[in-house]
Amino acid sequence: MPENITPRHTFSVAPMLNWTDRHCRYFHRLLTHKSLLYTEMVTTGALLHGSSQRFLAFNPAENPLAFQLGGSQPKELASCAKMIEDFSYDAINLNIGCPSDRVQNGRFGACLMTDPALVADCIDAMRQVVSMPVTVKSRIGIDEQDSYQQLLDFIGTVANAGCKTFIIHARKAWLKGLSPKQNREIPPLRYDLVYQIKKDLPVLEIILNGGVTSLQSAQDILQHVDGVMVGREAYHNPYVLAEVDNNLYQTPTKIKTRDEVVMALIPYINKHIADGGRLHNVTRHILGLFHGVAGARKWRSYLSENAGKKDADEGVVLEALKHVQL
C-alpha cells in the first residue's frame, strides 16, 4: 500500500440511495467501528438550494464517514466541498458510477466517464478549497466505451488532477436499456481489470466494489487491491459486518451478538422517537439482522407489520426479538 494511504478504505459500506441514511449508518456502526461508511449520494443542487443542514448533519458515532456528491459543475462542487469539510467528514467522494436516467439527465454519474477532462476539473476545483481527501467512484466502463485502455486513460487523467483514491465498481454500465438494478446484476464482473489497474498504477489507492458477499471473498480481493467495498450484502445481511474489525483490521474486538446489537440500538430509537421521528425510520434498516438465523422471518414480519403504526415504540422491537427466540 502506498505510504501516503491510510487503512481507512480497507473495508467500506457503499453509498446506497434510500438506504444508507443516518439511521442505517448508526446501526452499522454498532457492528463495526473501523469500516468506512458513506452517506447516500447528495446532489450539488440539493446542498446549494435545499436544506443543507438536513443533508450534512450526522451523529459523531458514525465516523469514519465519507460524503458522496453528485454533480458536474466544478464551481458548484467546490462550494459544496467547503460545506462538507466544515462538517468534518473524513472524505468527499464524487459519483461517477450511477447509471440512472435521472442522474444522466443531470449530467453526472456514470455518463461522466466519457469526459475525463471534466471529471479532472471537478476534482481539481474541490481540492483547491479543501484539505480532506477527494475520491472518485466509477465503473470499469460504459456502453461501448469499455476497453481497458479507456479505463486506464480515465483514471490516469483524473489522478493527474490530484485524486489518489478510486473506488471501482467492477462492472460496466449500460446507460440505455438497463435499469440501475439490472446494471448491478447483468453486466459481468471483471475483477481482473481492477486488479490490473492496481498493477499499472501502483501509487494509487484502488478499492474494488461489486459482487462481494462474504468476508472470505473480501480477504481474497485484498490480496490484489487496497480495499473492498460491500453494498447490498451489508444491507440485506448486516451481521456480516460484525467480524470486519477482527478479520480485516486485526483489531481485537468483542463481537456483539445480534440480541446485544438490538439492545444497543434501543436508546437511539427512544431518542429518535422523542425528537418526533417514527420507529419505522430506524427499523426498516434492521430487518436483515437475523438473516440465516431461525426465527428471521418472524422478526422481519413482526417489525414490518407493526413498526409503521402511529404509536409504535421500542416495545415493538423488543416483542419482535421475542419472536426470534421462540
What is the DSSP secondary-structure string of 290-325? TTTSTTHHHHHHHHHHHTTSTT--HHHHHHHHHHHH
Q: Is the pLDDT of residue 121 over 60?
A: yes
Q: Is the pLDDT of residue 1 over 70?
A: no
pLDDT of residue 98: 81
Residue 22 is inside which H or E element, if any? Answer: helix 22-31
Percent of the chain with pLDDT strictly greater than 70: 95
Alpha-helical runs (H) found in 65-174 = 74-86, 101-105, 116-127, 148-159
pLDDT of residue 104: 55
Tens-place pLDDT, residues 246-271: 999 998 889 999 999 999 999 999 99
Question: What Cα–Cα distance (Å) separates residue 154 from each residue in 58, 96, 150, 166, 263?
Answer: 33, 11, 6, 11, 47
Q: Is the pLDDT of residue 81 over 50?
A: yes
pLDDT band of residue 175 (cuts 50, 70, 90) is: confident
pLDDT band of residue 47 (cuts 50, 70, 90) is: very high
pLDDT band of residue 4 (cuts 50, 70, 90) is: very low
Across 98-102, 116-120, 313-317, least confident range: 98-102
Q: Which of 24, 80, 98, 111 is catalytic?
A: 98
What is the DSSP secondary-structure string of 201-240? STTSEEEEESS--SHHHHHHHTTTSSEEEE-HHHHHSGGG
Q: Is 98 a catalytic residue?
A: yes
Percent of the chain with pLDDT strictly greater than 90: 83
pLDDT band of residue 101 (cuts 50, 70, 90) is: low
Q: What are the structural domains of the chain?
A: 7-248 (3.20.20.70), 258-325 (1.20.120.1460)
Tens-place pLDDT, residues 267-315: 999 999 999 999 999 999 999 999 999 999 999 999 999 999 999 999 9
Comparing CA positions, the residue from 234, 245, 249, 227 lying closest to residue 291 is 234
C-alpha 115/C-alpha 46 separation (Å) is: 23
Q: Is the pLDDT of residue 75 over 60?
A: yes
pLDDT of residue 2: 40
Q: Is the pLDDT of residue 137 over 60?
A: yes
Q: Is the pLDDT of residue 199 over 60?
A: yes
User: Cell 481482473 identifies what position?
Assistant: 192
HSE (side-chain half, CA atoms, 13 Å) at 304: 8
Mean pLDDT of the region 140-151: 92
Alpha-helical runs (H) found in 100-190 = 101-105, 116-127, 148-159, 180-183
Residue 72 near residue 45 (C-beta atoms within 8 A): no
C-alpha 289/C-alpha 266 separation (Å) is: 14
How far is Cα of residue 279 from the mean position of the Cα atoms in its chain? 23
Across 7-21, 78-92, 293-307, least confident range: 7-21
Collapse the DSSP code of 12 into the 3-class scheme (helix H, G, I; strand E, B; otherwise coil) and give the result: strand
| Average pLDDT along the chain | 92
Q: Is the pLDDT of residue 202 over 50?
A: yes
* Amino acid type, 262: V
pLDDT of residue 55: 95
